[in-house]
Structure 1
Amino acid sequence: MEQTPHGSPDDPNPLRRLSLEQLRRRTSIKWREYPDDVLPLWVAEMDVPLAEPVARAVTEAVAIGDTGYPAGTGYAEALASFASGRWGWDTLAVERTRLVPDVMLGIVEVLKLLTGPGDAVVVNCPVYNPFYLFVEHMDRRVVEAPLDERSRIDLTVLEDAFRRAVRGGRRAAYLLCSPHNPTGTVHTADELAAVAALADRHGVRVVVDEIHAPVVSRSARFVPYLSVPGADRGFSVMSASKAWNLAGLKAALAVAGPAAADDLARMPPEVGHGPSHLGAIAHTAAFRDGGDWLDALLDGLDDNRRLLDELLAKYLPGVRHRPGEGTYLAWLDCRALGLGDDPAAAFLERGRVALHSGPPFGTGGAGHARLNLATSPEVLTEAVRRMAGAL
């Protein structure tokens, strides 16, 4: 299946711009993990060309040899302007930000400020599997607070997890994924305010992974955690990585609420040595000048969400899927197919489609698989057909 997508080079939808032949020239993990006969819809990389403002900024930097160490607050200023214009969040203070290597490593550094070895970190499972890996690697305990049957935060379950986390007077943090990976849930302002109140009541510090914040359906509204009442002691870690496909250009920002500024001030200066200067340039350009490209991407993703629902109804009616309003990921409940705990393994072996296995996402992951929607409609269609043929 090497045909070119139906879009032309002038098609505004970046998901329709590249053929499989072009994509297979890439050397990133998405295109090198599996043989060429496999359609890779697993890791969170998008099948898009680089946004022109980002490509221009990086190319110009390379042309003048601007490849040294990062400096200044341009990245934070660009994010603050984007947050104000896109989300109406006008209180992102540049002085309460720190440049960090990427979102997960930034989360680790923030958790080090708020917790100690053996302390608990609460997560809403099923959730992005590096939450488990990084938290456990830094000698913290994961306490699960499963999402409810609608893939939303269950405040009763969350409060019970908070009680267990702080038992014995220990410090604890809540690592919230917003929008939620893998379900695509976009938390509401009321839900986030309730989380803030609950965390304050139990003395739990909130750290939010908002890496997918710009990737929200046109029909939904992203609410930054630090913009809701009661979130002053919280932290957010953000970047342009997911929305503009910049995972290989490392740079992110840790953002502290007003009452967490003193905690942020304790972050060691050497943390800021890890980000890439070219990464910071790319992310700055994305937030500052990449809005039109992002809007075209969001339209394409909305189309792909609808297409996936149609394809599943036609070819895989046994798969349950609740389209998410955020991220470009789809969480597929395959338990009715009889493929065991890891249906992704069967789709790979028999259908030559690579999805992300569900069990590493924690409780609620067994029998599920995560599919990356950020590809052309043609690839998405072929992938679902292959998956159906694997049964």
Structure 2
Amino acid sequence: MDLVERLRSTRLDAALAVVFVVAALVQNAIWPIAGHGLAELYVLGATLPLAWRRTLPVEAALVSASFQLIPLDGYPVLGFVVVILQFFALGADGEPRTAVALVSAWAAATAVVGTLLGPEAPVAAIGAVLVVLAPVLAGRVVRHLRGQNEALAALTRELADERDRAEEAAVGAERARIAQELHDVVGHELTLIAIQAEAAGTALRVDPGRAAEPVEAIRRTAHRTLGEMRSVLGVLAPTAPESATDGIAELSRRAREAGIANELVETGTPSPGHAPVSLAVNRIVRECLTNAGRHAPGNPVSVRVDWHPDHVRVLASNAAPRTAAHPGRGLTGMRHRAELLGGSFTGRRVEDRFEVEVRMPVGEQS
């Protein structure tokens, strides 16, 4: 019970105690109880502890029950109601062993008082036990149900937190996917633009008349880049399936046009059901051409794509850079694409060349 709930419960129980005190005093005024002036003491002692029945259930029940042992010529009905409420709170908010001990002590005390007052001690003890045992058991049931409700509420909060974490993870994965797609598309095109701009600068110095061709190529590449960015954003929409906009032959042609000498060999033909693998092959070939133009400019690159009935193999080879390239998204993205489709990725240096080999299953496995 937190502090706010404790204060709210205390105020409610204090108001309840005031109501019972006033009602018991009114009842005693209308139907006086002979008890040598102890009736008022009984009323106050038995009812006032109601104010602490949930914050101090053991002490409140003990005090109210003790005043029930005062020998009077009759007892207000409200006094027994108070005892029932106190023992109910004891069962709901107290410890089980404490409740058992207090019920046992109550039975023993009523038996002793009954023996002193008359011959019906066993009957009085049994009746007294039943009066307090029933509310204690009812309180235990309420405590059990309350515990179940709290556990259910905690589970609901945990599930909500887990859902929020899953949503955050999904957003992070989507951001990573968008970043990878933009890297694959825009990085490739910007590499082509950089190579064409270098060619245009050389042409302007040597033969200005020949600069128009690379400048025009830059213009076409820039417009194509904008179109491909729009395509990527459309492809990344949740309801739109990914698809390759250009075949690898077109990628090879555009790379040669931009000054990246390359040789493409493709054997076999992908089936229409291989769309995810075809897209991955497209992106991997694009990245291989981009890396070759970026890290080994002026050197030819060879790309071979072999479609087999059960798998596809991509092998790209270009001159190794003179200095170790800073690892970026390219190789990581190719590895991620291959492994996502159940394939493998290898990037290795073989003598003076750098090779990339990717294998991915096709057919039913894809």
What is the TM-score with the length of structure 1 in the denominator?
Answer: 0.21
Kindly indicate whether structure 1 or structure 2 has the higher relative contact order, using CA contacts under 8 Å at least 6 residues apart.
1
Over alpha carbons, which structure has the higher Rg?
Answer: 2
Question: TM-score of the superposition, structure 2-length normalised?
Answer: 0.22
